[in-house]
Amino acid sequence: MQKELKGRPITKKIYRQLKSRIELHKLKPKLVVIIIGKDPAAEYYVKMLEKKGKKIGLIVDTLKFEKDISQEKLLLHIKELNNKTDVNGIMIQKPLPNQINESQIISMINYKKDVDAMHPLNIGNMVLDQEGFIPCTPAAVLEMLKFYNIETQGRNIIIIGRSDIVGKPLANLFLRKNETGNATVTICHSRTKNLVSHTKKADILITAIGKPQFVKKEMIKKNSIVIDVGVNQIEDKEKGKIYVGDVDYDDCYHKSLFITPVPGGVGSVTTSLLLKNVVDACEK
């Protein structure tokens, strides 16, 4: 087994499975992505989703709104999408403009179409280990560990970052009584004192803080497993704009047992699992 945990073999497998499910059951899965205001990064992401979708037979539609759209108007559009039987998934690109009450908008999405798993009902079901959508990035981390046969049971997992979409859900998932759970979980963040004293104890270290190349080899335990969820754009002297993770990959490579690259690691799996959620929603 290679030291680098690549996302590609996993996404290949997932897309192959999705494609055959769609063909076999004659599904017409459709995801609608809402973009508010000009957001080149979001538009780039959605184009990529469209392309991936096309390959497996899944439609990705985009609804674009002016950045001054009112809460009421946006709510009406959500309601309309909730009622459309041909729409299986609804996703809203963040950040939302200031006039929009984000949590109210998200709570309005039919939780059965909440493929991004932002709805409190999906989060609650996740914590209680009940059926529902799981946020795609945490799900991608679990998928990677499962694919590469990395045990979590009884191991010390340290998560840096306590966001609603990565750190917190991941902590809850690692506590489940299943094959990717049963871990002893520590969540560190900006208020943590002596962070290194924690990261040095990690059998598995997960980073989700959005600080480019923050984790150096002095911070990790020898032969630990390093899962990098961060995606940060930086200016490289030679290569220009490049994407790096929260981990200094080159620095940590030799000391780690396994390590995920950025790009080509967790992020690519996340996208495939989002589309999987759309297909799941369609099949139900």
Give residue 148's Cα distance to chain centre.
18
The window from 6-14, 16-24, 35-43, 175-183 that contacts a second copy (CB under 8 A) reads 175-183
CB of 89 to a second copy, least distance (A): 19
Region for residue 210 given its phi and psi (left: phi exceeds 0; alpha: psi -120 to 50; beta: otherwise)? left
The closest of 230, 212, 225 to 253, measured between CA atoms, is 225
Residue selected from 30, 162, 221, 276 as contacting a second copy according to rule CB under 8 A: 162
Q: Which two tokens stand for residue 278?
A: 């759309």
Residue selected from 10, 22, 92, 183 as contacting a second copy according to rule CB under 8 A: 183
Q: How far apart are CA 272 and CA 115, in angstroms?
A: 12
- The yes or no reply on residue 124 touching a second copy (CB under 8 A) is yes
Residue selected from 185, 219, 220, 273 as contacting a second copy according to rule CB under 8 A: 185
- Cβ nearer to a second copy, comparing 53 with 169: 169
- Cβ nearer to a second copy, comparing 20 with 104: 104
Q: Which amino acid is at 78?
A: I
- The yes or no reply on residue 120 touching a second copy (CB under 8 A) is yes
Q: How many residues bind a second copy (CB under 8 A)?
A: 36
Q: Which amino acid is at 133?
A: F
DSSP alpha helix (H) spans, 33-99: 40-56, 71-83
Asked whether the beta carbons of 133 and 144 are under 8 A apart, the reply is: no
Q: How far apart are CA 152 and CA 234, in angstroms?
A: 32
CB of 174 to a second copy, least distance (A): 9
Q: Which two tokens stand for residue 2?
A: 């290679």
CB of 156 to a second copy, least distance (A): 8
User: Restricting to residues 8-47, which ones interact with a second copy according to CB under 8 A?
Assistant: none
> Rule CB under 8 A: which residues touch a second copy?
103, 119-125, 127-128, 130, 132, 153-156, 162, 164, 167-169, 171-172, 175, 182-189, 191-193, 198
